[in-house]
Structure 1
Amino acid sequence: MLILTHKLHLKRLEREIPIEIRIYKPEPKDGCWACAFEIDWPEGTKAMSGAGFDALQALVISLQMIGIQIYTSSYHHDGALRAYDTEEGYGFPVSRNVRDVLIGADKIYL
C-alpha cells in the first residue's frame, strides 16, 4: 500500500523532468520488516526496500536509502536536481557515513 510520494525536479535544457519517489507501507517479510520504495529516474524506475527489526526501523532505513540514492546520483553531482523552489536539500535523511555531502536544510536538520 502506497503511503506517500515526494517529487524532485531534474533540470534538463529548458524544461524540468519530474522525479517521483513512492514509499510503501512496511510489511512483515522473512522474519523482519521491509519497506519498499521506488524512484522514477529518467533511465528507469529504481525499486528497492529497506529492512529492519520492526516497521519503524524499516521505514527509517528506506528513507536513508532514498537519501543516499539521491545524494550519490550524477544528477545531484551535476547540480541539476532540486526538491524545493527556495531552499537546497531534498528532505531525506542519510546514514552517518554520507552526511558530509548534505546541502541546504538537509545539512542543518538531517
Structure 2
Amino acid sequence: MIMLTHTLFLNRPEGEIRIEIRIHKPAPKDGCWACAFEIDWPEETKTMSGAGVDALQALVVSLQMIGVQIYTSSYHHDGALRAYEGQEGYGFPVSRNVRDMLIGVDKIYL
C-alpha cells in the first residue's frame, strides 16, 4: 500500500521530466519490518526496501536510502535535478557517509 509520494523534476533539452517516488507502508517481513519504495528514473524504475526492527526504523532507513539514491545519481551530479521551485535540496535525509553532498535546505535541516 502506497503511503506517500514525492516528485522530482529532471531538466532535459526536450523539457522537464517528472520523477515519481513512491513509499509504501512498512510491513512485517522475515522477522523484522520492511518499507518498500520505488523511484521512476528515466531509464528504469528502481525498487528497493529499507528494513528495521520496527516500522519507524524501516521507514527512516528507506528515506535515507532514497536520499542516497538521489544524491549519488548522475542527475544530481549534472545539476539537472530539482524538487522545489527556486530552492535547492530534495527533502530526503541521507546516511552520515553522504552528508557532505547535501545542498540547499537539505544541508541546513537534514
Structure 2 length normalisation: TM-score?
0.99
Q: Please show how residues 1-110 of structure 1 align to structure 2 within 5 Å.
A: 1-110=1-110
State the superposition RMSD in angstroms. Answer: 0.5
Structure 2: which amino acid aligns with 1:77? H
Cα distance in 2, alignment partners of residues 104 and 16 from structure 1: 21
Structure 2: which amino acid aligns with 1:45? T
Cα distance in 2, alignment partners of residues 57 and 86 from structure 1: 32
| Identity across the alignment (%) | 82
Output one character per residue of 1:72-107: Cα deviation in whole Å (capped at 9) or x when no partner: 000000000000002100000000110000000000
Output one character per residue of 1:41-88: Cα deviation in whole Å (capped at 9) or x when no partner: 000100000000000000000000000000000000000000000210
Structure 2: which amino acid aligns with 1:51? A
Cα distance in 2, alignment partners of residues 52 and 102 from structure 1: 24
Local SS of the residue matching 1:6: strand
**Superposed structure 1 runs of 4+ greater than 6 Å apart:** none
Local SS of the residue matching 2:59: helix
- Gaps of at least 5 residues in structure 2 are none
